[in-house]
Amino acid sequence: MRSVFGNELLKTYLRWRSYIAFIAIAVVVPLVLIAMKLNADTLVRGVTRGLSQDFLFVGNIVNGYFVTYVILNALWIHVPFLLTLGAGDQLAGEAAAGTFRVLLTRPASRSEILTMKYLTTLLYTFTVVAFLVLLSVGLGLLLFGSGVLLVPAKVLTIIPAGEAPWRMLLACLLATWGMWVVASVAFFFSSLVDNALGPILGTMAVIIIFYVISGIPVDLFRAVRPYLFTTYLNIWQKALESPIPWGEVLESGAILGAFSIGFYAITWYIFVRKDILS
Amino acid sequence: MGSDVVLQTRNLGKRFGRRWAVSGLDLAVRRGDVFGFLGPNGAGKSTTIRMILSLIRPTTGSVELFGKSLRGHRREILRRVGGLVEGADFYLYLSARRNLEIVAGLCGGIRAEEIDRVLDLVGLAGRAEDRVKTYSHGMKQRLGLAQALLGAPEFIVLDEPTTGLDPQGIKEVRELIGRLSCDRGMTIFLSSHLLHEIEQTASTMAIINRGKLVIQGKVSEILNQAEVGVRIETDRPDRTAEVVAGLPYARTVVREDRTVHVTLPQERLAEVNRLLIELGIGVRAFVPKRSLEDYFLAITEGASDVAPRAQQRRQEGN
């Protein structure tokens, strides 16, 4: 019969709630792309800003890869929000529905159930991020065609069209790695409460507060920046720098991984001891 | 003797903040028993059941099942136990069969035919593919029983299994419990806040109030061989009270206008009645009322500080 992991996959992917994130992405991405299509000229001017005085831009700058880069900036706030809907419900949802009373009176241990739920959450996070990237690249190439990828970040990076696909793949994987921390925070909040809203609000509050702290140029706040996971969420952008700063990727990656494991460990500590009163 | 005790709790207690929900609880359920766990709402029944099924960690004491500690042998023990705690909750967006498959996945080694068997047992085979969302309360409760029976457990714990059911549903659940006990020799732990329900289904029982054990034993002994409160109405109440008070085994004689209330051992009732008549007293009414029922009614009706007569008796008996 079905394994504990199979159970969790089934519960997550057979419920309507899990598809809110996919539906939202499927609605927003085409809308953004159409808006960009209609305003391509303004967009080019915006991207190249003052540079057009010194450089001559030829070719298709606003192409499928570029629009994907623009859309991936939804990773700061929008994607985390969509992820909390699913990740935040993993434990709190069972408590609210009263199904823990069935789930946790069975031979399978709490550790086992928690771990399988966590792995399911990670997989779900990956599918959401991958869906966002695939849809953006796919629709983007369809609407805008291919071309060199121009990334107007700290410095203007130019990536040849042939290299763009695997850079996008790498960005997708690194974005997933970063979003796993967000999902882990939501999972952690999920173990604390018996309602669906708490983990969503808790996670978003943490993320927004961390962004605010990061954004205020005060020495005290600068000093705590390295300890906030949000500081490292830009890891996916590193896949689009030339050359790729592998040292930074590894360092940020290690720190994000440590955050994910840390949140999982705290959740585990709480959950295996928790009295189920729901 | 040890091996035929299925469930044994020793000094079991649970504290929430400063309040003890359960304390010093020693329960013993033997193989083949239908054990009635009786208590008013908020007495600690549910907390006890949750400790037995590993949902709550005891503050004090231990739970032993099949002679092994739940703490050390959880997986092995729960493989042999089925439970239904406080009504049945399921994944409403999944079918009954899918829900049972999920439970089966948590137990390991349960086959598809087993799911058909329990669905059939509770009469839900025809609706197995429907989402639980479409089920009535009674059907959900039956599905709850089905999941408790999955994997042919030796011991099942049912927390108020008839709550919210209509009379027909209550009858069906009662019959099912009877069948499980008689035909399959299953040991059943059944909680209720209704004395008559326990009386009709259980063979042994315990009463819990305010987290403490009041009495525990065979239902027949507790309900029938106990002392009985008797209301006696005669044409000569003074003389009646005098006679009754003179009996060595009579307790708490109270004269109230034309009526005399007295507590007597069950087996002396006829004797006392005859004595009064032989003394020429005209007996208009001689109405025995089981003291446990009085006591239990009193605690369930929320009367505070009822003298726990049953408890006194238990201590005297020991």
Report the predicted TM-score, pTM, of the whole model to 2 decimal places.
0.85
Q: What pLDDT sits at residue A131?
A: 97
Rounded Cα–Cα distance for residues B297 and A4 (Å): 46
pLDDT > 70: percent of chain A = 94
In a domain, A264, yes or no: yes
Closest CA to B262 of B231, B284, B295, B220: B231
Closest CA to B74 of A98, A120, A93, A112: A112
Rounded Cα–Cα distance for residues B150 and B53 (Å): 15
Q: Look at B103 and A102 and tell me if their CB atoms are within 8 Å.
A: yes
Distance from CA of B79 to the nearest CA of A (A): 6
- The total domain count for chain A is 1
Rounded Cα–Cα distance for residues A158 and A51 (Å): 14
Q: What pLDDT sits at residue A55?
A: 65
Mean pLDDT estimate for chain A: 90
Do the beta carbons of residue B97 and residue B115 sit within 8 Å? yes
Cβ atoms within 10 Å of A251's Cβ, excluding its own:
13
User: Which CA distances in Å does A271 have to A109, A112, A147, A245, B218?
Assistant: 11, 11, 50, 39, 39
Type and span of the H or E element at B204: strand B204-209
Q: Which of B57, B79, B91 sits opposite A107 (nearest CB)?
A: B79
- Asked if the C-beta of A12 comes within 8 angstroms of chain B's C-beta atoms, the answer is no
Half-sphere exposure of A66 (CA within 13 A, CB side): 26
Average pLDDT of the residues in A163-187: 96
A47 pLDDT tier (thresholds 50, 70, 90): low
Q: What pLDDT sits at residue A152?
A: 78
Please give the residue of chain B at the shortest CA–CA distance from A17.
B93
Residue A124, SS3 per DSSP:
helix
* Tokens of residue B98, six digits: 């899918």
Backbone torsions φ then ψ of B64, nearest 5 degrees: -120, 135
Mention every residue, 6+ apart, whose C-beta is less than 8 A from residue B221.
none
Q: What pLDDT sits at residue A231?
A: 93
In a domain, A94, yes or no: yes
Tell me which residue has tokens 């819990």: B208
ipTM of the prediction:
0.83
- Asked if the C-beta of A11 comes within 8 angstroms of chain B's C-beta atoms, the answer is yes
Cis peptide upstream of residue A243 (ω within 30 degrees of 0): yes
As to burial, measured by CB atoms within 10 angstroms (0-12 exposed, 13-18 middle, 19+ buried), residue A86 is: buried
In a domain, A278, yes or no: no
Mention every residue, 6+ apart, whose C-beta is less than 8 A from residue A35.
none
| Beta strand B34-38 pairing with B187-192 | parallel
Closest CA to B241 of B228, B259, B227: B259
Contacts of B87 in chain A (CB under 8 A): 98
Q: Which of B57, B101, B108 sits opposite A107 (nearest CB)?
A: B108
Return the DSSP state at B266.
G
Task: Select from B78, B106, B118 the residue whose CB has the most chain A CBs within 10 Å, as the one to mutate to test that interface.
Answer: B106
Cβ atoms within 10 Å of B109's Cβ, excluding its own:
10
User: Each residue of B154-187: pLDDT tens digit?
Assistant: 999 999 998 888 898 899 889 999 999 998 889 9
Q: What pLDDT sits at residue A215?
A: 87
Domain boundaries, chain B: 2-217, 225-293
Return the DSSP state at A232.
G
Distance from CA of B2 to the nearest CA of A (A): 24
- State which residues form the domain around A100: 4-273
- Asked if the C-beta of A6 comes within 8 angstroms of chain B's C-beta atoms, the answer is yes
User: Does residue B2 carry a pLDDT above 70?
Assistant: no
User: Which CA distances in Å does B14 have to A129, A246, B11, B45, B210?
Assistant: 45, 54, 10, 12, 12
Classify each residue of A33-53 as buried b or exposed e, where b means 16 or more C-beta atoms within 10 Å of its C-beta.
beebeeeeeebbeebbeeeee
Return the DSSP state at B235.
S
Distance from CA of B266 to the nearest CA of A (A): 42
Do the beta carbons of residue A231 and residue A217 sit within 8 Å? no
Average pLDDT of the residues in A131-151: 92
Cβ atoms within 10 Å of A254's Cβ, excluding its own:
11
User: Does residue B256 carry a pLDDT above 90?
Assistant: no
Q: Which of A98, A106, A107 sits opposite B89 (nearest CB)?
A: A98
The highest-level CATH class for domain B225-293 is: alpha beta
**The CATH fold of domain B2-217:** Rossmann fold (3.40.50)
Rounded Cα–Cα distance for residues A270 and A273 (Å): 6
Q: Look at A99 and B83 and tell me if their CB atoms are within 8 Å.
A: no
Mean pLDDT estimate for chain B: 87
Backbone torsions φ then ψ of B111, nearest 5 degrees: -95, 165
B306 pLDDT tier (thresholds 50, 70, 90): very low
Do the beta carbons of residue A254 and residue A178 sit within 8 Å? no
Average pLDDT of the residues in B37-63: 94
Where would I find the H helices in chain A? 4-13, 20-38, 40-48, 51-54, 64-72, 78-87, 89-97, 100-103, 110-144, 164-192, 197-215, 219-224, 246-273
**Amino acid at site B90:** F
User: Does residue B317 carry a pLDDT above 80?
Assistant: no
Task: Select from B46, B53, B55 the residue whose CB has the most chain A CBs within 10 Å, as the one to mutate to test that interface.
Answer: B55
Rounded Cα–Cα distance for residues B232 and B16 (Å): 46
Rounded Cα–Cα distance for residues A229 and A225 (Å): 8
- Contacting A with CB below 8 Å, chain B residues are 50, 53-57, 74-76, 78-79, 81, 83, 85-94, 98, 101-112, 147
Cβ atoms within 10 Å of B171's Cβ, excluding its own:
12
B312 pLDDT tier (thresholds 50, 70, 90): very low
Distance from CA of B195 to the nearest CA of A (A): 26
A42 pLDDT tier (thresholds 50, 70, 90): confident
Q: What pLDDT sits at residue A1?
A: 44
Rg (CA), chain B: 23
Average pLDDT of the residues in B112-121: 93
Q: What pLDDT sits at residue A68?
A: 92
Please give the residue of chain A at the shortest CA–CA distance from B48.
A277
Distance from CA of A271 to the nearest CA of B (A): 11
- Comparing A120 with B221, the larger pLDDT belongs to A120
